[in-house]
Amino acid sequence: MKNILNTVDRKKNLYVLTNIDQRFYLKIKRFIDIVLSSVILLLTAPVMSVLIVLIKLESKGPAFFVQERVGKDGNIIKVLKLRTMYMNYEDEGGGVRTEQDDPRITKIGKLIRECSLDEFPQFINILTGDMSYIGPRPISLAEHSIVINDFKKENKPLPQGVIHRVKPGITGWALLHGRERISYEDRFKLNAEYENNISLWFDLKIFYLTFKKYLFTNLCVVALFLTLTAFCISKII
């Protein structure tokens, strides 16, 4: 697996979890991730199938957008998302902000983004072990390189939170505080705070706050699922 750090930098900048309770909890968390991702992928399969067809019908190109991002211990992972932009624009993601009525975004892509459904394929990343449901959000390889180079230019060591010592997640402590609306420094501090205090109770808190914040997304998924179910039943009857 490719890594953003060379051997020397890895020894200097990796922060290893030494708390036995935390390391034990991570094993439990992995089991929960497998069960959760399997159930969600199964339940959302009809919705995802429809979205994939709509994406393909509206514009040429694959339904999924694959982007290299930085995972645990600096390892490079390939993160999956539903494609929401026209081809040749998706590579601009990961650090480049979108605007209102952005011409790069497709019509179905706009709906997908409004409902935050573009992240759902990342449950595949969770199932394969590259990610967790809760953890620091992985940033793109290009964005990460810029951050690391800035620290190197100033001859400063990388602060904890830049290189994740736990698996990145779909949701997390930093994301709940605004993600793009906060500085890199604050984001890394929040990542470090999560890593230093990771526990079942902390994850339950993040899970609750995520559900509360993204209630509209949850309602979108439920509504689409019920609509598809009713359509299928009507065809059978």
DSSP sequence for 116-151: T-TTTTHHHHHHHTS-EEESPPPPBHHHHHHHHHHH
**Has residue 227 been placed in a domain?**
yes
- Residues 34-50: pLDDT tens digits? 999 999 999 888 888 88
Domains in the chain: how many in total?
Answer: 1
**Has residue 193 been placed in a domain?**
yes
- The span from the CA of 125 to the CA of 150, in Å, is 29
Q: Return the pLDDT at 102.
A: 74
**Has residue 67 been placed in a domain?**
yes
Q: Residue 83, class by beta-carbon neighbours within 10 Å (0-12 exposed, 13-18 middle, 19+ buried)?
A: buried
Mean pLDDT of 82-111: 72
- The span from the CA of 211 to the CA of 153, in Å, is 40
Mean pLDDT of 75-98: 74
Q: Return the pLDDT at 7.
A: 47
DSSP sequence for 60-89: SS-SEEEEEEE-GGGBEEEEEEE--B-TTT
Residue 38 to residues 35, 103, 128, Cα–Cα distance (Å): 5, 35, 11
**Has residue 223 been placed in a domain?**
yes
pLDDT at 64 over 90: yes
Least confident of 26-35, 103-112, 148-157, 217-226: 217-226
Averaged pLDDT of the chain: 82
pLDDT: which is higher, 235 or 147: 147
**Has residue 1 been placed in a domain?**
no
**Has residue 2 been placed in a domain?**
no
- Residues 176-196: pLDDT tens digits? 987 667 888 899 999 999 999
**Has residue 126 been placed in a domain?**
yes
**Has residue 56 been placed in a domain?**
yes
Q: Binning pLDDT at 50, 70 and 90, where does residue 166 land?
A: very high
- The span from the CA of 136 to the CA of 130, in Å, is 13
- The span from the CA of 74 to the CA of 162, in Å, is 9
pLDDT: which is higher, 60 or 222: 60
- Residues 4-14: pLDDT tens digits? 665 445 555 55
Q: Return the pLDDT at 230.
A: 67
Mean pLDDT of 205-230: 74
Q: Return the pLDDT at 8.
A: 41
Q: Assess contact for 80 and 125: CB atoms under 8 A.
A: yes
Mean pLDDT of 126-143: 92
Supply the range of the domain harboring residue 56.
7-236
Which positions ≥6 away from 113 have C-beta within 8 Å? 84, 98, 105
| Nearest Cα residue to 122 out of 106, 110, 138, 98 | 138
Task: Spell out the alpha helix ranges (H) of 141-183.
Answer: 141-153, 173-176
Take residue 211 and report the two structure tokens written for it.
């559900």
